[in-house]
Structure 1
Amino acid sequence: MRLRPPPGALAVAAIAAGALLSSTAAAAPPDGDGKVEGTLRSAAPSAPAGSSTAAAADRATDGEPTSTAPEAQDGEAVSAQPLPPVKPRLELATRPPPLHVEYAQYGVALAAEISLDAGAACPRSGPLYSCILGSGGGLAIRSGYRSPGPWYFGGAYQFTKMDSSNLYRLGIFQQLRAEMRYLPDIGYRAAPYFSAGIGGVIYGNEWGAETGGALIFGGVGVELEVSRRAVLGVSCVYRPVLLAGWKDTANYERATAIAQFVGFELLLEVRTELGRR
């Protein structure tokens, strides 16, 4: 006949054994390596329960899928945005300073003299109606000094074969002039200029001097700098000429006259450097 333990004895024995084991663990001192302390620290939570990392760890423990933290997503979005284009610095284009070089400038030009009015030299009625002083063309030769600034000073000799209505076999109109030009610096190879001057003239048959007088002129032009030592240009001037009265080859007396011309030139000039300032 087997004896059964009284009811509740097993429960009481289990409670007593658990209390004995817990008191033994609490009373046991830690070893020299601090294993108990390390065990307790590893068992403790490493982050506050409210942090995102702890929440992610709890969700991973519970089997829930984890997601990227909002802070990381915001950082990635900022880094993914393209940076605004950087505008390059615009350096102001500055022209180099002038060389301040002095030149001797000389050359030739094709010249045309267009008669506007021959004045009293060609009256509009009577036996002297045939005009002895018309338009013509020829050649000009000049030389001068070009300063480091905008000024040119020089002289020119020009001869043109004029239309004399067959009263002269070869009517040659000769001029000797003092000239100046003002050339403002505009920073381009092609530069406009203003010109003016004064001089004397002679006119006659076959290079003769049957009459003479004085002239003044003023005009404009454009000079193209092909190189530092060569220029091309065109000019237009207004030239009134005072001619003394004379007797022509047909023995007609010509009165003192003020003839008016418009002159055109196509010029080629070269430079020789004189020095620097």
Structure 2
Amino acid sequence: MRLRPPPGALAVAAIAAGALLSSAAAAAPPDGEVEGALPSAAPDAALPAPDAEAVSAQPLAPVKPRVELATRPPPLHVEYAQYGVALAAEISLDAGAACPRSGPLYSCILGSGGGLAIRSGYRSPGPWYFGGAYQFTKMDSSNLYRLGIFQQLRAEMRYLPDIGYRAAPYFSAGIGGVIYGNEWGAETGGALIFGGVGVELEVSRRAVLGVSCVYRPVLLAGWKDTANYERATAIAQFVGFELLLEVRTELGRR
């Protein structure tokens, strides 16, 4: 005689098996964790909340103000051809042996005078100027000459330090030759050197005004003047003043 399970026994067995599997899954540790290890604490729970009063009580670091230094723009490295004219004055300090203090040659044939200078040269991008000048001056000859003309041909240089202003001082020096005589004649001649100082005012990038003062000793050879007096070889000394106007033509940039 074959026994049959009572009705509903299969359903009861399935329910029991499902409950057993779910309890086993809940008891198993999650992936990557070791059984018995303590769970890690949350990072936010480990740090205490900042105290607003304590933060406000802390002194703030002083903030240094940002200082903008006023800087001058770099100079333009431009080279020029520089040329112009000048009103010139020659003040005689001592005519030397050309005008003795006594005797028939006491009347001085070489006194002070005024005239015009013409010059041209090269102005470097740096502080240097090199050029040449021709100057003629009508001198006081004590009526021994109708028109005593003192002519100079000079090689010149200037040193102009950059001080950042339109008006700049400079130092000048040079050498040259001279001739002297009546009405543009050449009755005597010689050589000169000079050194001096000046100030140059930059009216624009292409025009300058200036004044200068130089000390100029001149060596003159002996000669016979129009009154048939023999003039001895002399070292005459002058102080020269110039009021100049010069313009520039740009040659290039470096």
TM-score w.r.t. length of structure 2 = 0.75
Which is higher, the Rg of structure 1 or of structure 2?
Answer: 1
Aligned to 1:242: 219
Write the deviation string for residues 27-67 of structure 1: whole angstroms up to 9, x where unpaired: 9999999xx9999999999xxxxxxxxxxxxxxxxxxxxxx
CA separation of 1:13 and 1:131: change in aligned 2, threshold 3 A: closer
CA separation of 1:248 and 1:30: change in aligned 2, threshold 3 A: closer
Q: Is 1:6 paired with 2:6?
A: yes
Q: Is 1:200 paired with 2:177?
A: yes
Q: What CA distance in whole angstroms lies between the structure 1 residues aligned with 2:86 and 2:38?
A: 111
Q: What CA distance in whole angstroms lies between the structure 2 residues aligned with 1:23 and 1:37?
A: 17
Write the deviation string for residues 81-134 of structure 1: whole angstroms up to 9, x where unpaired: 999999853311111112110100000000000000000000000000000000
CA separation of 1:5 and 1:128: change in aligned 2, threshold 3 A: same
Alpha-carbon offset, residue 4 of structure 1: 83
Q: What CA distance in whole angstroms lies between the structure 2 residues aligned with 1:109 and 1:161?
A: 15
Aligned to 2:70: 93
Secondary structure at 1:134 match in 2: coil
CA separation of 1:30 and 1:126: change in aligned 2, threshold 3 A: closer
Say whether the 8 Å CA contact 2:154–2:177 is kept in structure 1. Answer: yes
Identity %: 96
Q: What CA distance in whole angstroms lies between the structure 1 residues aligned with 2:188 and 2:82?
A: 32
Q: What CA distance in whole angstroms lies between the structure 2 residues aligned with 1:156 and 1:176?
A: 6
CA separation of 1:242 and 1:8: change in aligned 2, threshold 3 A: closer
CA separation of 1:86 and 1:2: change in aligned 2, threshold 3 A: same
Q: What CA distance in whole angstroms lies between the structure 1 residues aligned with 2:65 and 2:86?
A: 49
Write the deviation string for residues 178-215 of structure 1: whole angstroms up to 9, x where unpaired: 00000011111111100000000000000000000000
CA separation of 1:79 and 1:254: change in aligned 2, threshold 3 A: same
Aligned to 1:54: none
Instruction: For structure 2, list consecutive stretches of 5 or more residues without a partner in the other structure.
Output: none
Say whether the 8 Å CA contact 2:29–2:35 is kept in structure 1. Answer: no
Q: What CA distance in whole angstroms lies between the structure 1 residues aligned with 2:123 and 2:208?
A: 12
CA separation of 1:44 and 1:137: change in aligned 2, threshold 3 A: closer
CA separation of 1:161 and 1:9: change in aligned 2, threshold 3 A: closer
Q: What CA distance in whole angstroms lies between the structure 2 residues aligned with 1:29 and 1:146?
A: 93
| CA-atom RMSD in angstroms | 11.4
Aligned to 2:29: 29
Q: What CA distance in whole angstroms lies between the structure 1 residues aligned with 2:210 and 2:66?
A: 39
Match of 2:39 among 38, 41, 44: 41
Q: What CA distance in whole angstroms lies between the structure 2 residues aligned with 1:112 and 1:257?
A: 21
Aligned to 1:78: 55
Q: What CA distance in whole angstroms lies between the structure 2 residues aligned with 1:238 and 1:161?
A: 19
Which stretch shows the higher mean deviation, 3-12 or 202-211? 3-12
CA separation of 1:27 and 1:201: change in aligned 2, threshold 3 A: closer
CA separation of 1:105 and 1:21: change in aligned 2, threshold 3 A: closer
CA separation of 1:75 and 1:247: change in aligned 2, threshold 3 A: same
Write the deviation string for residues 221-263 of structure 1: whole angstroms up to 9, x where unpaired: 0001111000010000000000000000000000000000000
Instruction: For structure 1, list consecutive stretches of 5 or more residues without a partner in the other structure.
Output: 46-67
Alpha-carbon offset, residue 19 of structure 1: 49
Q: What CA distance in whole angstroms lies between the structure 2 residues aligned with 1:141 and 1:215?
A: 17
Say whether the 8 Å CA contact 2:121–2:132 is kept in structure 1. Answer: yes
